[in-house]
Amino acid sequence: MQQIPKEMFQPASVDLSEAEKISKPSLSFWKDVSIRFRKNKLAMFGLVLLFILVFMAIFGPMMTPHDYRTNDLMNTNKPPSAEHWFGTDDLGRDIFARTWYGARISLFIGVAAALIDLFIGVLWGGIAAFRGGRTDEVMMRIADILWGVPYLLLVILLMVVLEQGLGTMILAMTITGWINMARIVRGQVLQLKNQEYVLAAQTLGASTSRIMFRHLIPNTMGPILVTMTLTIPSAIFTEAFLSYLGLGVPQPLASWGTMASDGVSALQYYPWRLFFPATMICLTIFAFNVVGDGLRDALDPRLRK
């Protein structure tokens, strides 16, 4: 071993104030999330897209002199032109105006249904799985029964009993909509609840709700977000199905779902009638998906660098 001369050593000047400094600025959880989210370009793009869609839903109908309901039977099924940017439908109505008018209804329904499904589904599935045993059994069997009864029959009855309107429609949509979410959350929680950190939390005396919301739910965020992004398009098209039965938005109001369902039969002849509403649905779902992914990544503490 080589000899180290004394000169090579220097006294370390211990500055106590320096020691107290933190190299990385202190961040609250949400601030951190927002920083990491903003670094995700794709997610930011999705967010901007969503803003544009919402903006157009609010102001789009005002950008054209045509309104969503006035017929022009002399100009039916016209392809996109300078006069009608998205063309006209089979009653000669302006598809541009209808698309953005429909955006209001479809976006609202999609988000509302997704949030309600999320709320009920997470609670139901989470409680069932966490409590386990008989509670799980009973809660999940209730879900099975709701799923087993013919949905069409349920909807017909709802239509007879309740007034046509937004509330009825959302009820019809969420009455069975949450079940998928509940099943997936239950499966995840079953897997997680016996893991060491949950046991640790339990040993430390954490309450059930704390374990649920601080430990279990955040760790099932991935599947939850994916299921939510499925709920939105399915709500948009369920609305079309309900309109078909007389429970959706009354004609001549437009929604993406009804416009697309109408447009399918014209696919071979007037493709723009399907193209515009369907594209808007795709864009919306895309935006929600990338935002959802970005959010998931940002929320996951393990991906923190």
Partner 1 sequence: MLRYIGRRLLYMLLSLFLIITATFFLMRAAPGGPFSGEKKLPPEIEKNLNEFYGLDRPWYEQYFDYLTSIAQWDFGPSFKYKGQTVNDLINSGFPVSFFLGMEALLIAVGMGVLLGIIAALNHNKWQDYAAMIFAVLGISVPSFIMASLLQYVLAIKLGVFPVARWESFMHTILPAIALATGPTAFIARLTRSSMLEVLSNDYIRTAKAKGLSRMQITVRHAIRNALLPVVSYLGPLSAGVITGSFVIEKIFGIPGLGSHFVLSISNRDYTVIMGVTVFYSIILLAAILLVDIAYGLIDPRIKLAGGKKGE
Partner 2 sequence: MKKRLSLLFSLMLVLSLFLAACGGFDKKESADDTKKGEDKKADVPQELHININTEPFSLHPGLANDSTSGTVLRQTFEGLTVIKDGKPDLAAAESYEVSDDLTTYTFKLRDAKWTNGDPVTAHDFEYAWKWALDPKNQSQYAYQLYYIKNGQAFNEGKAKAEDVGVKAIDDKTLQVTLENPTPYFLELTAFYTYYPVNSKIAQQNPDWYKNAGDQYTSNGPFKMVSWEHNSKIVLEKNENYWDANNVKLTKIEMVMVNDPNTELSMFNNGELDWAGSPTGNLPTDALPQLKQEGKLHVQPIAGTYWYKFNTEKAPLNNVNIRKALTYAIDRKAIVENITKGEQVPAMAAVPPTMFPENEKGYFKDNDVEKAKEHLQKGLEELGLKDVKDLPPITLSFNTSEAHAKIAQAIQDMWKKNLGIEVKLENAEWNVYIDKLHSGDYQIGRMGWLGDFNDPINFLELYRDKKGGNNDTNWENPKYKQLLIDSQKEKDSEKRLQMLKEAEAILMDELPIAPIYFYTQTWVQKDNLKGVELSGLGDVQFKWAYFE
Contacts with partner 2 by CB under 8 A lie at: 69-71, 73-74, 76-77, 90-92, 156, 159-160, 164, 243-246, 250-252, 262, 265-270
Q: Which is nearer to partner 2, 61 or 294 (CB)?
A: 61
CA angle, 117 then 236 then 44, to 5°? 80
Separation of alpha carbons 162 and 11, rounded Å = 84
Locate 76 and state its tokens.
């039916």
Smallest gap from Cβ 201 to partner 1, in A, equals 13
Residue 138 identity (one-letter amino acid): V
| Bridge partners, residue 240, by sequence | none
Q: From the list 148, 204, 205, 251, which residue makes contact with partner 1 (rule: CB under 8 A)?
A: 148
117 binds partner 1 (CB under 8 A): no
Count of beta carbons in the 10 Å neighbourhood of residue 142: 14
The binder of 92, among partner 1, partner 2, none, by C-beta within 5 to 8 A per type, is: partner 2
Locate 272 and state its tokens.
């723009």
290 binds partner 1 (CB under 8 A): yes
Distance of CA 304 to the CA centre of its chain: 24
Q: From the list 86, 96, 237, 270, which residue makes contact with partner 1 (rule: CB under 8 A)?
A: 237
Smallest gap from Cβ 225 to partner 1, in A, equals 7
Count of beta carbons in the 10 Å neighbourhood of residue 246: 12
The binder of 73, among partner 2, partner 1, none, by C-beta within 5 to 8 A per type, is: partner 2
Q: What beta strand segments (E) does the chain contain?
A: none
Smallest gap from Cβ 140 to partner 1, in A, equals 8
CA angle, 20 then 24 then 27, to 5°? 100
N- to C-terminal Cα distance for the chain? 39
Rg of the chain (C-alpha set): 27
Smallest gap from Cβ 233 to partner 1, in A, equals 5
Separation of alpha carbons 258 and 106, rounded Å = 10
The binder of 132, among partner 2, partner 1, none, by C-beta within 5 to 8 A per type, is: partner 1
Q: Which residues in this chain contact partner 1 in the complex, by CB under 8 A?
A: 42, 130-134, 136-137, 140-141, 144-145, 147-150, 152-154, 156-157, 160, 179-180, 183-184, 186-188, 190-191, 193-195, 219, 222-223, 225-227, 229-230, 233-234, 237, 260-261, 264, 267-268, 274, 278, 281-282, 284-286, 289-290, 293, 296, 300, 302-303
